[in-house]
Amino acid sequence: MTILEQTVAAIRPADPAALAAARAHQDSLTKPRGALGVLEEVAVRLAGAAAVSPPPLPAPAALAIFAADHGVHAQGVTPWPQEVTVQMVGNFLAGGAVANAFAAQVGASVTVVDVGVAADLPPAPGLTVSKVAYGTADLSVGPAMTAEQVVAALEAGIAVARELVDQGARCLVTGDMGIANTTASAALICAFTGKDAAAVTGRGTGVDDETLARKVEVVRQALRVNGLPGGRESGPAAGPASGREGAGGLPVGAGSFSGGLSGGLSEGTEGTPEDGRAVPPLEVLAAVGGLEHAAIAGFVLGGAALGVPVILDGVIAGSAALAAAALAPAVVDHCVAGHRSAEPGHAAALDHLGLRPLVELELRLGEGSGGLLAHPLVCAAVRVMHEVATFDSAGVTDKEA
Ligand SMILES: Cc1cc2ncn([C@H]3O[C@H](COP(=O)(O)O)[C@@H](O)[C@H]3O)c2cc1C
Ligand SMILES: O=C(O)c1cccnc1
């Protein structure tokens, strides 16, 4: 089995006994039942994922920022020059980015991973070089990546997850850096959810109306030239409703590349876009994804396989998680949506995954910023399970007893 296949095979769905025990425990604590709202669901979710109640405290956290460049940058989908990607990598390594400030605030480590920056980076503390290519090809004229590149990037992400957990991380937070990557994210979200490009393509770093209109067209063209759902102007272009949420697009649990690249991943229902061709998730990633999207998908799968919860950041993470969930539906049980970004496709991705974001602050940055901010909330939710007295132990009268 390949590392990817082993990882997918190791991911377990939420454990029903641990879920039930965690719910019962929540109800025994000295608070009105349900008083902690969504935080109760988070704690129960982590118990299911860890298959034990209460679940382990999800700390310390480790942020991995996957950096890569994008051929679609040539289409004028972002006002920022491509070299900002490598410059921001330098900024992360020097500790000067928002992600560094937020990581310091919540006590998370920061690892920067070069999976596809279009420049050579000198070795530096905190930098992992797993370069698969010097950026992707332009997804609006053909596949962004080869099948081999997708698997290499996925496995690079798995390796980072394993290493961080080996080093003691008990919660992983996704991060990204890649100028133009909100375009690839929108295309992935269209392909996996069946939503129209206009509904999920946003302003990214803050593009003007004219650039946004061009970006929508670029996404549409990318889907069309790559034979993916969503390439037409009206409505979901995919076949039968098959996602977790019953939307169109490609199903969670779709299969693998044909041709034996990842033979053990071939189970599950495949999507059927308008030409009737099944499009497996690795092929979708290759067609319209980025190297950092593939690596983030691997990182999420890797964390889930090790039973370590993963906090997802914004739209880039959300679109990568759709790919991860298409490869291994149970991975979703190990994910927490850190926040919902201002990018419209993010809400569509989270809906499709069935995840509820913890924080909503109109962030539109990426880097892991929103995921980091959610980490203390996730810790607080779990700490309650460990430290709050029960009605019995504290001698507090339970009205419902
Ligand atoms: C200085 C700077 C720092 C960033 N940090 C994250 N992003 C974010 O913006 C980029 C995606 O937006 P678009 O698709 O519009 O290019 C990604 O690099 C993302 O991580 C940044 C962008 C800039 C300019
Ligand atoms: O949702 C995000 O993470 C995001 C939004 C805009 C630009 N970069 C990232």
The reply to whether ligand 1 has any atom less than 6 angstroms from the CB of 371 is no
Distance between CA atoms of 254 and 45, rounded to whole angstroms?
A: 24
Instruction: List all residues 6 or more positions away from 395 whose beta carbon is below 8 Å from its beta carbon.
Output: none
Burial of 208 (0-12, 13-18, 19+ CB in 10 A): exposed
DSSP codes, 230-260: T-SSSS--SSS--STTS-SSSPTT----SSS
312: nearest Cα among 132, 185, 139, 195? 185
In this predicted structure, what is the pLDDT of residue 278? 65
In this predicted structure, what is the pLDDT of residue 229? 81
Cis preceding-peptide flag for 54 (omega within 30 of 0)? yes
The residue contributing the CA closest to ligand 1 atom 14 is: 180
CA atoms within 13 A on the CB side of 175: 31
In this predicted structure, what is the pLDDT of residue 76? 98
Residues with a catalytic annotation lie at 367
Question: Domain segments of the chain: what residues?
Answer: 57-231+280-378
Q: Which numbered atom of ligand 1 lies nearest the CA of 85?
A: 18
In this predicted structure, what is the pLDDT of residue 399? 86
In this predicted structure, what is the pLDDT of residue 230? 74
Contact between residue 334 and residue 340 where contact means Cβ atoms under 8 Å apart: no
Contact between residue 241 and residue 352 where contact means Cβ atoms under 8 Å apart: no
Contact between residue 291 and residue 188 where contact means Cβ atoms under 8 Å apart: no
Distance between CA atoms of 337 and 366, rounded to whole angstroms?
A: 13
Instruction: Report the residue among 205, 288, 292, 313 best suited for mutation to probe ligand 1: largest number of ligand atoms under 8 A from its CB.
Output: 205
The reply to whether ligand 1 has any atom less than 6 angstroms from the CB of 178 is yes
Backbone angles phi, psi at 311, to 5 degrees: -95, 125
The residue contributing the CA closest to ligand 2 atom 5 is: 364
Length of the chain: 401
Where does 58-106 have alpha helices with state H?
84-94, 98-106
Q: How far apart are the first and last CA of the chain?
A: 52
The residue contributing the CA closest to ligand 1 atom 13 is: 180
CA atoms within 13 A on the CB side of 398: 16
From the CA of 175, how far away is ligand 1's center (Å)?
Answer: 11
The CATH architecture one would assign to domain 57-231+280-378 is 3-Layer(aba) Sandwich (3.40)
The reply to whether ligand 1 has any atom less than 6 angstroms from the CB of 181 is yes
Distance between CA atoms of 125 and 139, rounded to whole angstroms?
A: 33
Instruction: List all residues 6 or more positions away from 15 whose beta carbon is below 8 Å from its beta carbon.
Output: 47, 48, 49, 50, 51, 52
The percent of residues above 70 in pLDDT, for the chain, comes to 88
Instruction: Report the residue among 102, 136, 179, 218 best suited for mutation to probe ligand 1: largest number of ligand atoms under 8 A from its CB.
Output: 179
Neighbours of 94 (CB within 10 A): 11
Which residues of the chain fall below pLDDT 50? 234-248, 251-272
Distance between CA atoms of 311 and 363, rounded to whole angstroms?
A: 16
Residue 127's beta-bridge partner residues? 112
In this predicted structure, what is the pLDDT of residue 246? 33
Instruction: List all residues 6 or more positions away from 375 whose beta carbon is below 8 Å from its beta carbon.
Output: 58, 59, 61, 106, 108, 171, 173, 311, 338
Contact between residue 357 and residue 339 where contact means Cβ atoms under 8 Å apart: yes
Instruction: Report the residue among 343, 346, 362, 363 best suited for mutation to probe ligand 2: largest number of ligand atoms under 8 A from its CB.
Output: 343
Q: Which numbered atom of ligand 2 lies nearest the CA of 341?
A: 1
Q: Tell me which ligand sits closest to the C-alpha of residue 92.
A: 1
Instruction: List all residues 6 or more positions away from 387 whose beta carbon is below 8 Å from its beta carbon.
Output: none
